[in-house]
Amino acid sequence: MRWIASDAMREELEHVLARETLAARWPVDTGAIHAAWQAHVTPVTPLPHPVPLHCSDRADQKFIDLALAHGAAWLFTRDRALLKLARRARPHGISIATPQAFGAPR
């Protein structure tokens, strides 16, 4: 398994980590998050893709676009708008699931 991400995804991560509401709800170790990103992410460039799947949240479109363009088998997310695409993404070879669902016993 390979974790791929684009520059736009890195910017989204920085935006989310900067939210005061996130820190108020959960303690966030930004150093550990950045270290995990550096250690595990393979940076890729978004490519055009022929199969349009449209996310209802335009800010999250980049995630499904990257998955389609690079032939990802999995897209892990907790985002409701992306999870709604799960059934429509399956015929294109992408399983969209929460991290918890992926790790659950079958």
The mean pLDDT of 74-103, rounded to a whole number, is: 92
Q: What is the pLDDT of residue 22?
A: 74
- Of 21 and 77, the one with more pLDDT: 77
Q: What is the pLDDT of residue 104?
A: 64
Report pLDDT digits (tens) over 24-74: 788 888 899 999 999 999 999 888 766 679 999 988 999 999 999 888 999
Q: Is the pLDDT score of 89 beyond 90? A: yes
> pTM here?
0.80
Contact status, residue 64 vs residue 87, Cβ threshold 8 Å: no
Q: What is the pLDDT of residue 21?
A: 78
Contact status, residue 82 vs residue 88, Cβ threshold 8 Å: no
Report pLDDT digits (tens) over 8-17: 999 999 988 8
- The domain ranges of the chain are 1-45, 47-106
Q: What is the pLDDT of residue 91?
A: 94
Contact status, residue 23 vs residue 61, Cβ threshold 8 Å: no
Q: What is the pLDDT of residue 11?
A: 93
How far apart are alpha carbons 102 and 98 in whole angstroms?
A: 6
Q: What is the pLDDT of residue 28?
A: 82
